[in-house]
């Protein structure tokens, strides 16, 4: 049992939605750190539990199409896991008078696989835009009012999220094609999508953060430009059909947070 523990933990982290949930938490925490806005760590836990529930629900709905054995093991205990995580999230949101906001996040998250995702059958790239807007909206949570800096950060998150979703769509090209979803890999094919992605990676992940660092005089944007290697590495791994590329992309915003914490420590 002990010898299997590392494998069990790694599978739970990779397939249980924890990376994506932590990435969502990172987007709430990032602006608070960058712009020195104080709020309780319990709020971060509330967001983590909410997004864990959303991602867990999404993966469970895809179990019939997903052959991953680890995910299948969750099927029997899924109602219990969802009940506990959702209950705790709502309790924490209520504690900090954020129940309406928390419920809105959870409802939209649960409606994504049930309704919004299927709109991509009629509207090309709709699910990418929806998820990107969802991510970008989290950036504004710590602010009491709209600011230009928050707007620039939201714009960068939006474009990075679209890029991330397109790369993640490459692994689901065949399944999305069967389901009639008009993602970029389905429309253009894998090779043409990869060709198009290369200049986009440099524009969104390198040049845009540099430009924003000059406009806003915020070093944080400059630091983010150094993470262009993650997207380039993902691009290379996708080309080699290496599944690790998708884990790198799922952790994208988590890397942002780690980088900022390292910079603050140094």
Burial class (CB in 10 A: 0-12, 13-18, 19+), 66: middle
What span, in angstroms and rounded, lies between the C-alpha atoms of 25 and 133? 15
What span, in angstroms and rounded, lies between the C-alpha atoms of 225 and 233? 14
75-95: pLDDT as tens digits: 667 677 778 888 888 888 877
What span, in angstroms and rounded, lies between the C-alpha atoms of 69 and 30? 35
pLDDT on residue 61: 75
What span, in angstroms and rounded, lies between the C-alpha atoms of 118 and 194? 24
164-219: pLDDT as tens digits: 999 999 988 988 999 899 999 999 999 999 999 999 999 999 999 999 999 999 89
What is each CA distance from 247 to 91, 123, 155, 178, 230, in whole angstroms? Answer: 31, 27, 23, 24, 11
pLDDT on residue 2: 47
Per domain, the residue ranges of the chain are 2-265
What span, in angstroms and rounded, lies between the C-alpha atoms of 20 and 27? 11
CA dihedral 221, 225, 226, 229 (to 10 degrees): 150
13-55: pLDDT as tens digits: 666 677 788 888 899 888 888 878 887 888 889 889 998 888 8
Burial class (CB in 10 A: 0-12, 13-18, 19+), 62: middle
Q: Which is nearest to 250 in space by CA: 116, 55, 112, 6?
A: 55
Q: Which CATH architecture has domain 2-265?
A: Orthogonal Bundle (1.10)
144-165: pLDDT as tens digits: 667 888 899 999 999 999 999 9
What span, in angstroms and rounded, lies between the C-alpha atoms of 190 and 203? 20
Q: What pTM value is reported for the model?
A: 0.88
């Amino acid at each position: 049992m002990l010898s299997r523990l590392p494998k069990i933990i790694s599978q739970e982290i990779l397939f249980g939605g924890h990376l994506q949930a932590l990435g969502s938490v990172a987007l709430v925490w990032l602006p608070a750190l960058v712009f020195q806005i104080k709020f309780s760590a319990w709020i971060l836990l509330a967001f983590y539990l909410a997004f864990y529930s959303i991602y867990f629900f999404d993966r469970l709905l895809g179990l019939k199409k997903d052959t991953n054995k680890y995910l299948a093991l969750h099927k029997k205990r899924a109602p219990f896991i969802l009940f506990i995580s959702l209950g705790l999230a709502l309790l924490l949101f209520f504690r900090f008078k954020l129940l309406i906001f928390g419920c809105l996040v959870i409802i939209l998250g649960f409606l994504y696989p049930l309704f919004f995702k299927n709109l991509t059958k009629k509207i090309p790239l709709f699910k990418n835009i929806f998820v990107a807007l969802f991510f970008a909206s989290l950036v504004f949570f710590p602010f009491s009012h709209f600011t230009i800096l928050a707007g620039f950060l939201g714009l960068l998150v939006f474009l990075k999220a679209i890029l991330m979703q397109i790369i993640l769509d490459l692994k689901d090209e065949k399944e999305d094609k069967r389901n009639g979803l008009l993602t970029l890999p389905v429309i253009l094919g894998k090779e043409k999508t990869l060709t198009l992605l290369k200049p986009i990676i440099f524009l969104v992940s390198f040049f845009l953060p540099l430009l924003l660092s000059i406009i806003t005089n915020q070093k944080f944007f400059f630091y983010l430009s150094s993470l262009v290697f993650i997207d380039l590495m993902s691009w290379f791994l996708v080309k080699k059909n290496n599944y690790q590329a998708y884990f790198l992309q799922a952790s994208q915003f988590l890397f942002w947070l780690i980088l900022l914490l390292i910079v603050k420590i140094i």
